[in-house]
Structure 1
Amino acid sequence: MTQYIMLQGTSSHVGKSILTTALCRIFYRMGRQVVPFKAQNMALNSYVTRQGLEMGRAQVAQAEAAGLEPAVDMNPVLLKPTGNSCSQVIIDGLPIGNMSARDYHKGYSLRAFSAVTEALERLKQRYDTIVIEGAGSPAEVNLRDHDIVNMRVAKYLRAPVLLVADIDRGGSLAALVGTLELLEPEERDLVKGLIINKFRGDISLFTPAVDFLEQKTGKPVLGVIPYIEKLGIDEEDSVSLDDKPRVPQTGDVQIAVIQTPKISNFTDFDSLAEEPDASLYYVRTVEELGHPDVIILPGSKNTTEDLRWLRASGLADCLSLQVKRGTPVIGICGGYQMLGQSIYDPHHTESDFSEVAGLGLLPVTTTFADWKQTYQVQALCRPFSFMGETLQAGRLGGYEIHMGQTDVAPGAVEPFVVCQRSGRDCSLTVGTAREDGLVFGTYIHGLFDNDPFRRDMINILRRHKGLAPLPVQRNYRAEKERSYDRLAAVTAQHLDMDTILRIMRDSGL
């Protein structure tokens, strides 16, 4: 019989995703057939499965921690904000359209719950343990009737719930007590324990608080998890952008990422941020940009709006000036589209504008379609000029998520060639570079996760500054596996796993 444990939080960004990842790894190391699950995810970071289906990035990390290939049953409902209280709704990995928050919560969400239950039934047939993540808080009384990700899932499965609070944000005791008070009696009974997350300092000084919580709520505190520095694990959504560096840190090579309002898939740059000789930071103004060695224009959930924002903020003119001064600019997906000459939107997929001028830094034009292209890809990076040197990395792995078709001017440099899409052989160019080696762009997400490409690019930037090149510093995939092991070890040390296992067994009786 399948056993369950569910993590819900007193609010967003209390660490539910990371603790779900930790439990997946802990159970995986126990030899269990464990799978992560989140009924509905609202996130700008998404991923494409081998089947070409889209899912939340946090569940991908959880799947990796569980030793599994990511699959959309782990996240059957995905909401991708597009702006103006509107989101693209993705069910079972496929977009079904854009909806306002009101239309979704008041009219569609309960219908989407059928996708949730169907995914759960399939997972129950294959796995003996399901670690379930909630979203936000279960105590949002205005959303309770239409909620499909917190207590509705717990009640459907009769799953025991652990309630998580973030003490680093302050007010964790009040948040736990208040959340429990706002739950219905049946919901409160499903909460079997409390977890205090991100604790700093002397744990012995917290004992009176633990005693108070247990007496006040009648629920055991099953763990006080310390704040873990530099996890090296993909983060869930745009809330985590608030924690990103805003100024260059220590590092030989300074990498600036333009944080547009509709930025998406910023996990593309985590591997760069982990390089010991690189300093990656996010900027929103001309003043914050400073003097980086390279500038990256990231993916976007609304390329047209972000392009207009670049102009209004002055960053569009600044990027052109930086290129004239010799600073290279790289565009990924939506960023690649923005670097071109024009963007056409005949179906008004993103906005009311039929045409918007691009930044004019690459000889390409993009036309939006009313359907999304989503593929896992294997690609070849042909040698091309970058900063006066030859950048070459051979084979690459990654994925595509984009609405547009980009046309390239005759004779342009096209270094990125996809040779396999979702397991099918092909030969398609998905990127363009300038002959002067100062600007290039591509549709390949995960480009910098490829160790040879990442190191070759950084070494060219090093040599340009008069610094000696370095060998590959990190095996990104192996580092992630070590990060999962580290997270699991720390979490297991500070969680009462014996009690959690008993709670899971008892709930299945």
Structure 2
Amino acid sequence: MSKVIMIQGTMSNAGKSLLTAGLCRIFKQDGYRVAPFKSQNMALNSYITEEGLEMGRAQVMQAEAAGIKPSVLMNPILLKPTNDIGSQVIVNGEVIGNMKARDYFAYKKKLVPDIKKAFHALEMQADIIVVEGAGSPAEINLKENDIVNMGLAELLDAPVLLVGDIDRGGVFAQLVGTLMLLEEKEKARVKGLIINKFRGDKTILDPGITMLEEKGQVPVIGVVPYMKLSIEDEDSLSSRFERREEAQIDIAVIRFPRISNFTDFMVFEQIEGVSVRYVDSVLQLHHPDMIILPGSKNTMGDLKWMRQNGLEAAVKKRQEDCVIFGICGGFQMLGQRLADPYGIEEGGELTGMGFFPMDTVLEKEKVRTQVQGTFGKVPGLLSGLSGMELKGYEIHMGRSTVKEQGFDSFCSLTNQLDGQEKADGIAAGNVYGTYVHGIFDEGGAASVIVRELAGKKGLTLEDGLMMDYKAFKETQYDKLAETLREYLDMDEIYKIMKI
């Protein structure tokens, strides 16, 4: 039977995902088989496993830190918001339908058997399971039938570490207030407090920590500093959305209201001299070298949003002097027409941006598969990609059809589920589109793109630009683990787990 430790937070973005990943890395380094687990995740960043099943990317990141393959066992329930009051509900990697928040609240208790089954299957593979909660366990309106915080801790008989974010201020009130709002049996599960994202001299905190332990009756087992790491964020609270500085090579990602899989572009952030900015207005767009239209959980709604705020027109004006690249939902927008006959998103039809002679129809069945292959003959400014290997995954509701000759695909792919070969990717001038998420991560594709963009401006990049993104991520997980070992009481954590 696996040993279990659970990370809960005083709020969203307190650092639960990162600390879970760090503990996974530490336990792996210490010789244990370790796996992450989050019963219910709400996020628009998702991933497709080898089996063609969908899960949250946060647990994929944590699996990487643990040195194991991602599995939907690590995230049996995924909620992908489609609007402000409802989400697509994915159970065990497959869509079961869209639900309004109130309807899901009434339904979710029926998913407890799925949670238990996934966890027990994971126990067969791991010595230690690091469980991540969601939001805060003190949300009074959500405590009934809870399946992700204290309700899950009771179900799994898991000890809890409670994390507070000092960077936002009020961390003592966060931690003490959360403990006060817990029931006595819930509070008894909290075995340690962690103050996260601290900047400065820890000795300044000592009087506050003494008072915190007196009032909360729970020991503080670590004060973790603010870490400058490049590790995937989980949700829309990502601080990268606030970046505004522009470098020699500037990439602007359109920040749709329902942006999904923005992790596709993190590889560019690691290249010196490159800025990646997320923009949601014409005033922010400026004159980038490349504009990316990312994935969207509501493609038609987000295209209407671009049309209403002027971004569509602004992007079209820049097609002559910069690269435009659409991925998944952003790719669908680049065509002539989008149709939603089954009401998957908003129903009806919508005129696209018109870059490609392509129609997209949203269908009931979601395409979920990993793919690998090569870039074929890539036209235009990004011709340097030609012949390079690529690997990624597809996750979309739509099927796209090109209506004219002369728009050859620039990717040759193999579907990893059935071994079928297929073509993907369309280009017209310096406008490109593909369904493949993660297309920039493999084989130095991002570096080649940056080199071509720099060449267009007459700039010469330094030698050594080509990078191994997977190897880079490994260094980040090791840095995370090293920092946590220094600032967390790992002996106490092992004692809490009875190891």
TM > 0.5: yes
Q: Residue 386 of structure 1: which of 377, 380, 391 is its match?
A: 380
Q: Indicate how the Cα distance of structure 1 residues 363 and 246 shifts in structure 2: closer, same or farther if over 3 A, else same.
A: farther
Supply the RMSD in Å over aligned alpha carbons. 1.3
Partner of 1:396 in structure 2? Answer: 390
**CA deviation string 1:229-258 (max 9, x = no partner):** 1x1111111111x54244233x32110001
SS in 2 for 1:24: helix
Partner of 1:341 in structure 2? Answer: 336
User: 1:112-151 counterparts in 2 under 5 A?
Assistant: 112-151=111-150
Partner of 1:479 in structure 2? Answer: 472
SS in 1 for 2:497: helix
Return the alpha-carbon distance in structure 1 between the equivalents of residues 299 and 69 of structure 2.
Answer: 30
Q: Indicate how the Cα distance of structure 1 residues 282 and 448 shifts in structure 2: closer, same or farther if over 3 A, else same.
A: same
User: Shift of the alpha carbon at 1:391?
Assistant: 3.4
Return the alpha-carbon distance in structure 2 between the equivalents of residues 74 and 388 of structure 1.
Answer: 38
Partner of 1:91 in structure 2? Answer: 91
SS in 1 for 2:17: helix
Partner of 1:312 in structure 2? Answer: 308
Are the equivalent residues in 2 in contact too, given 1:257–1:283 (CA < 8 A)?
Answer: yes
Are the equivalent residues in 2 in contact too, given 1:79–1:88 (CA < 8 A)?
Answer: yes
Return the alpha-carbon distance in structure 2 between the equivalents of residues 214 and 115 of structure 1.
Answer: 37
SS in 2 for 1:219: coil
**CA deviation string 1:103-149 (max 9, x = no partner):** 001x2110112211111111122211000000000011111112210
Aligned residue identity for 1:135: A
Aligned residue identity for 1:283: V
Counterpart check, 1:232 vs 2:230:
yes
Return the alpha-carbon distance in structure 2 between the equivalents of residues 216 and 485 of structure 1.
Answer: 35
Return the alpha-carbon distance in structure 2 between the equivalents of residues 412 and 332 of structure 1.
Answer: 21
Q: Indicate how the Cα distance of structure 1 residues 180 and 393 shifts in structure 2: closer, same or farther if over 3 A, else same.
A: farther
Return the alpha-carbon distance in structure 2 between the equivalents of residues 493 and 58 of structure 1.
Answer: 24
Counterpart check, 1:377 vs 2:371:
yes
Return the alpha-carbon distance in structure 2 between the equivalents of residues 137 and 280 of structure 1.
Answer: 31
**Percent identical residues:** 48
**CA deviation string 1:424-471 (max 9, x = no partner):** 32221221001x2x1010000001112432111111111100012455
User: Shift of the alpha carbon at 1:269?
Assistant: 0.5
Partner of 2:281 in structure 1? Answer: 285
Return the alpha-carbon distance in structure 2 between the equivalents of residues 501 and 283 of structure 1.
Answer: 44
User: Shift of the alpha carbon at 1:383?
Assistant: 2.1
Return the alpha-carbon distance in structure 2 between the equivalents of residues 73 and 267 of structure 1.
Answer: 22
Q: Residue 429 of structure 1: which of 423, 429, 439 is its match?
A: 423
Return the alpha-carbon distance in structure 2 between the equivalents of residues 412 and 8 of structure 1.
Answer: 54
**CA deviation string 1:19-70 (max 9, x = no partner):** 0000000000001011000000000100000100000000000000001000
Are the equivalent residues in 2 in contact too, given 1:246–1:283 (CA < 8 A)?
Answer: no
Deviates more, 1:253-262 or 1:471-480: 471-480
Return the alpha-carbon distance in structure 2 between the equivalents of residues 40 and 388 of structure 1.
Answer: 40
Return the alpha-carbon distance in structure 2 between the equivalents of residues 386 and 133 of structure 1.
Answer: 45
Return the alpha-carbon distance in structure 2 between the equivalents of residues 297 and 315 of structure 1.
Answer: 11
Partner of 1:300 in structure 2? Answer: 296
Counterpart check, 1:258 vs 2:250:
no
User: Shift of the alpha carbon at 1:418?
Assistant: 4.5
Partner of 2:70 in structure 1? Answer: 70
Q: Residue 485 of structure 2: which of 452, 468, 492 is its match?
A: 492
Are the equivalent residues in 1 in contact too, given 2:444–2:468 (CA < 8 A)?
Answer: no
Deviates more, 1:494-503 or 1:446-455: 446-455
Aligned residue identity for 1:62: Q
Counterpart check, 1:408 vs 2:402:
yes
Aligned residue identity for 2:485: A
Return the alpha-carbon distance in structure 1 between the equivalents of residues 137 and 144 of structure 2.
Answer: 11
Give the number of equivalent residue pairs.
498
Aligned residue identity for 1:146: N
Return the alpha-carbon distance in structure 2 between the equivalents of residues 156 and 30 of structure 1.
Answer: 27
Gaps of 5+ in 2: none
SS in 1 for 2:129: strand
Deviates more, 1:88-97 or 1:121-130: 121-130
Partner of 2:48 in structure 1? Answer: 48
Return the alpha-carbon distance in structure 1 between the equivalents of residues 352 and 195 of structure 2.
Answer: 48
Q: Residue 330 of structure 1: which of 325, 328, 333 is its match?
A: 325
Are the equivalent residues in 1 in contact too, given 2:335–2:358 (CA < 8 A)?
Answer: yes
User: 1:209-248 counterparts in 2 under 5 A?
Assistant: 209-229=208-228, 231-240=229-238, 242-248=239-245
Q: Indicate how the Cα distance of structure 1 residues 248 and 93 shifts in structure 2: closer, same or farther if over 3 A, else same.
A: same
Aligned residue identity for 2:328: C
User: Shift of the alpha carbon at 1:380?
Assistant: 1.6
Return the alpha-carbon distance in structure 2 between the equivalents of residues 212 and 362 of structure 1.
Answer: 64
Are the equivalent residues in 2 in contact too, given 1:416–1:432 (CA < 8 A)?
Answer: yes
